[in-house]
Amino acid sequence: MEQPDKTALGAALEKLFERDGLLLERGAWETTVSAKLVDYLQKEYCDHDVDHEYDKHLENPKLIARDRPQRPDIVIHKRGVDDSNHIAIEIKTKESSFEDDEEKLRVLTNKNPPNPGRLFGYNYGIHIIFAHKQKRIATITVYTNGLVNADEGNDLRSYLREKLPYAWRD
């Protein structure tokens, strides 16, 4: 399985903080921040499509939970095929409930779902929570196979703390 590229994610987050940190400091909506992050991720993942709020699973609506279409904030994939679904990202910029985000990432990364129609096949889910009205990351959680992957999460956090020490709320 392809690893989540820490270098690529780190470079994209670094650009977000450098160029658009004011959005975070002013408490901009997550759609605004995630749209900017898509721009920077696309430059890092040239061999994939990086889409904002992509609502399709192959040619059908993406029914993740509650049998209604839902859109992950960001997906790194190749449109139209499931075998290249690399990373799904959910972000939060405000202090609010994020159980729906967690459920989306569990479903999108589950390789053995109880409902075969819900096999999306993303290798990784990454949940980034930014500290409210601060140019800082509160936490990052990594999901694989429908579960929180503490080892991958710790590895990613360690890398990003070293690369972006100014970007963490401790």
pLDDT score recorded for residue 83: 85
CATH 1.10.287 given to domain 6-167: no
pLDDT tens-place string over residues 26-40: 999 999 999 999 999
pLDDT score recorded for residue 106: 93
Stronger pLDDT, 118 or 149, i.e. the higher one: 149
pLDDT tens-place string over residues 134-151: 999 999 999 999 999 999
pLDDT tens-place string over residues 13-24: 999 999 999 999
**At residue 101, does pLDDT exceed 90?**
yes
80 touches 26 (CB < 8 A): no
CA distances from 141 to 20, 83, 157 (A): 22, 23, 9
Q: Break the chain into its structural domains and give their ranges.
A: 6-167
pLDDT score recorded for residue 94: 83
DSSP, res 165: G
Q: What are phi and psi of 124, to 5 degrees?
A: -140, 145
pLDDT score recorded for residue 67: 67
Provide the strand spans (E) within the chain: 49-52, 56-57, 60-61, 63-65, 68-69, 74-77, 87-92, 124-130, 137-144, 147-148
Q: Which residue has the tokens 């977000």?
A: 16
- pTM listed for this prediction: 0.92
pLDDT score recorded for residue 1: 42
